[in-house]
Structure 1
Amino acid sequence: MQGGFAMMENLNWDDVRLLLLVARTRSLSAAAVQLGVSPSTVGRRIALLERALGVTLFMRHASGYRLTEDGASLLEDARRVEDAMVQLQGRAADAGSTPRGHVRLATNEALANLLILPRWAALAPRYPDLVLELVTGAAIQDLYRRDADLALRLVRPEAGGLTVRKLGVQAYAVYAAKGLLPQSRKPGKAGLAKLPWIGWDASLQHLVQARWQREHFLEARIALTANSLFTQLHAAEQGLGLAVLPCYITDPHPQLTRCLSPGQCVSQDIWLVIQQGLRDAPRVRVIADMVAAVVSDNRKALEGLPP
């Protein structure tokens, strides 16, 4: 296809956004939810856009709507238009003497509740016009799809168009309730394998701590599975089994003791990820600087080192 969007003089931002949403969600219904219209309206607008461009943009498959070759050739142009719009909107939001507007930060529940929220509570009065939106959960928010403005992640993203910076390390150790262990001495790995364990449910077996546990204690009996880190923590406190837990979360709980140290377990790098078009926006910079300071100030706890 020659000329791309330049061949369509009346193309507007709504057309570009429509193409991006359907391409990313592969669903008329999902795109409709984000646009606040009906799926049939999305379908009609796609048909009109295809007629105006003179190409077929999408093909319907069992897995959803997929871009055709012509549609894929337009996608990068659409992303560049989107980047420009995001920067323009950001500059408008950042106009004035103080940062204002919304900043959407994606991270996991533990980092949000234990580290970020206390710091933001102290910082927020300085920025009365700035709203922090925290998106938490086990699922990784896709910054390339504009699910968030920035993220604090334990997995380095592979997609382009992002500014990525390593902030620190999150260490894990194996913990158990003191009453679950022999009174005389802490058992070695062979002894730990004979004790009950707490694991992740089937949907979260990709997590680094779940993989480590399978690799080192595959034959150990699983007494309980959970899809929440805090549920695992409380289950370990109840003596239901051993658990692989982050040190900064678990060390303050006196009922639990380390069975294997961080050096014997697994760790993950902590990454700050920002949409490239937003990295210099004052409102995003406030949150990014806060997040970096939080990780730096809690470095020893995150790495499982003595205070």
Structure 2
Amino acid sequence: MQGGFASMENLSWDDLRLFLLVARTHSLSGAAVQLGVSPSTVGRRVAQLEHALGVSLFVRHASGYRLTEDGSGLLDEARRVEDAVVQLRGHAADLGSTPRGHVRLATNEALANLLILPRWAEMAPRYPDLVLELITGSAVQDLYRRDADLALRLVRPESGGLVVRRLGTQAYAVYARQGLAPAAGKQGREDLARLPWIGWDLSVQHLVQARWQRERFPQATIALTANSLFSQLHAAERGLGLAVLPCYIADTSPLLERCLAPSQCVSQDIWLVIQQGLRDSPRVRVVADLLTDLIHENRAAMAGTG
């Protein structure tokens, strides 16, 4: 630790949490949202922290707040304190004979609504002191920022400090309303390219299925774009065009049929991700076991072979 941090022993956890939030979000407003205060309050507290330490922690760039050399020096120490606080809170929540407390699970909306919530509704009465918090979205940084205890993801995290396990495969196929396109195996790619397609909004072009569609059918006419999987599903059911959809969802629709099989489309691995310090927590284990069993039981439908 550099000499500028002589008053480190006077720092509180609130000071370090403030510092970590600004460092991770690169903005006062981003940290303010998570702290429930105004950006001006965050700015004032950062200035007070810098004054107390006698160093500058951040420099303002066009891209936001960036760490100075002294700020980078404090970052590793702050992370170690954060790890200790997280583990201490987890141990406190796990005291007693039954799982209790809150478990924050990050996943996407489809997995949450179609698989996880129905199972949790069955299990919740067995754990009256356990509260499941669902965070849905396509972002993968929730665990890095400690916004979640565990996650069910379709992209493998590369960051350290996480326990990562592959649970299965999510396959996709091309679907259309019955009668709109020839059934799977009865047409070529040229036939499909001449039909209207449902595309993805610019904000989600990074998704695997969106990239695959662009690369395989670059000249196809896009009849409608959406940023929601369920909007894509409903648009396909109404005959607006072909769509690349997860098999476990689209195969249950009586209005849709496959016009390109999963073996000719794209797939993703399904990953269970847990914060390293929480892997043995009873409350987290309850949810992790639920997710493991859920994907195992539905593996055929998820892989498009059920």
The answer as to whether partners of 1:168 and 1:295 remain within 8 angstroms in 2 is yes
The answer as to whether partners of 2:5 and 2:54 remain within 8 angstroms in 1 is no
Residue in structure 2 matched with residue 190 of structure 1 by the alignment: 190
Residue in structure 2 matched with residue 103 of structure 1 by the alignment: 103
Residue in structure 1 matched with residue 81 of structure 2 by the alignment: 81
Question: Can you list the C-alpha shifts for 1:237-289, whole angstroms capped at 9, x where unaligned?
Answer: 11111111000001111221111111100000000111112111111111111
Once the two structures are superposed, the pairs formed by residues 87-166 of structure 1 within 5 Å of their partners are 87-166=87-166
Task: Compute the displacement of 1:58 (Å).
Answer: 0.5
1:214 aligns with 2:219: no
Change (3 A) 1:6 1:13: farther
What TM-score comes out, normalization by structure 1 length?
Answer: 0.95
Residue in structure 1 matched with residue 47 of structure 2 by the alignment: 47
The answer as to whether partners of 1:28 and 1:43 remain within 8 angstroms in 2 is yes
The answer as to whether partners of 1:198 and 1:223 remain within 8 angstroms in 2 is yes
Residue in structure 2 matched with residue 21 of structure 1 by the alignment: 21
The answer as to whether partners of 1:200 and 1:210 remain within 8 angstroms in 2 is yes
The answer as to whether partners of 1:102 and 1:130 remain within 8 angstroms in 2 is yes
The answer as to whether partners of 2:182 and 2:259 remain within 8 angstroms in 1 is no
Question: Can you list the C-alpha shifts for 1:62-120, whole angstroms capped at 9, x where unaligned?
Answer: 22211101101211111111010000001111111111111111111111111111111
The aligned amino acid for 2:115 is L
Once the two structures are superposed, the pairs formed by residues 257-272 of structure 1 within 5 Å of their partners are 257-272=257-272
Residue in structure 1 matched with residue 289 of structure 2 by the alignment: 289
The answer as to whether partners of 1:173 and 1:247 remain within 8 angstroms in 2 is yes
Secondary structure of 2:71's counterpart equals helix
CA separation in 2, counterparts of 1:4 and 1:91?
34
Task: Compute the displacement of 1:32 (Å).
Answer: 2.4
The answer as to whether partners of 1:4 and 1:74 remain within 8 angstroms in 2 is no
CA separation in 1, counterparts of 2:260 and 2:51?
64
CA separation in 2, counterparts of 1:71 and 1:115?
43
The aligned amino acid for 1:37 is V
CA separation in 2, counterparts of 1:37 and 1:229?
34
The answer as to whether partners of 1:5 and 1:11 remain within 8 angstroms in 2 is no
CA separation in 2, counterparts of 1:205 and 1:139?
13
Residue in structure 2 matched with residue 31 of structure 1 by the alignment: 31
Residue in structure 1 matched with residue 223 of structure 2 by the alignment: 223
The aligned amino acid for 1:214 is R
Secondary structure of 1:9's counterpart equals helix
The aligned amino acid for 2:193 is A
CA separation in 1, counterparts of 2:277 and 2:3?
25
Change (3 A) 1:288 1:237: same
Query: What percent identity do the matched residue pairs reach?
Result: 78
Q: CA RMSD in A?
A: 1.8
| 44-53 or 279-288, larger mean C-alpha shift | 44-53
Secondary structure of 2:22's counterpart equals helix
The answer as to whether partners of 1:32 and 1:42 remain within 8 angstroms in 2 is yes
| Count of residues paired in the alignment | 306
CA separation in 1, counterparts of 2:2 and 2:239?
66
CA separation in 2, counterparts of 1:6 and 1:284?
38
The aligned amino acid for 2:45 is R
CA separation in 2, counterparts of 1:182 and 1:282?
51
Task: Compute the displacement of 1:4 (Å).
Answer: 7.6
Task: Compute the displacement of 1:182 (Å).
Answer: 4.7
Task: Compute the displacement of 1:5 (Å).
Answer: 5.5
The answer as to whether partners of 1:5 and 1:77 remain within 8 angstroms in 2 is no
The aligned amino acid for 1:255 is L
Change (3 A) 1:168 1:5: farther
Residue in structure 1 matched with residue 205 of structure 2 by the alignment: 205
